[in-house]
């Protein structure tokens, strides 16, 4: 499992806490991380997500949801 998933989910949660009025999101064409910073860009209630982070984040969240589902009788 990619250990970056935990950090990405925390960063995304932080973005929504900083601006609960986010009304749009889009992906940004960054295929690989180039800087040691969050892949989430927040400006004027718009959220940009660098492409490289989407696959990691979706996979991480899916694994967590499947884990929770396996514990439901």
The pLDDT, as a whole number, for residue 1 is 55
pLDDT tens per residue, range 29-60: 988 888 778 899 999 999 999 999 999 999 99
CB-based contact 49:39 (threshold 8 Å): yes
- Domain hosting 59: range is 4-70
Tell me the pTM.
0.80
- Domain tally, the chain: 1
- Whole-angstrom distance, CA of residue 64 vs CA of residue 30: 25
pLDDT in tens, 7-34: 999 999 999 999 999 999 999 998 888 8
**DSSP assignment string, 11-41:** HHHHHHHH-TT--EEEEE--SS--SSS-SEE
Work out the end-to-end distance of the chain between its first and last CA atoms, rounded to an integer number of angstroms. Answer: 26
How far from chain centre, in Å, is Cα 58?
8
- At 73, is the pLDDT very low, low, confident or very high (cuts 50, 70, 90)? low
């Amino acid at each position: 499992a990619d250990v970056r998933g935990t950090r990405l989910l925390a960063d995304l949660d932080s973005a929504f806490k900083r601006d609960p009025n986010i009304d749009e999101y889009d992906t940004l064409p960054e295929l690989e991380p180039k800087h040691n910073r969050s892949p989430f860009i927040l400006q004027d209630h718009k959220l940009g997500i660098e492409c490289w982070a989407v696959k990691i984040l979706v996979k991480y969240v899916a694994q967590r949801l499947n884990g929770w589902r396996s514990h439901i009788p």
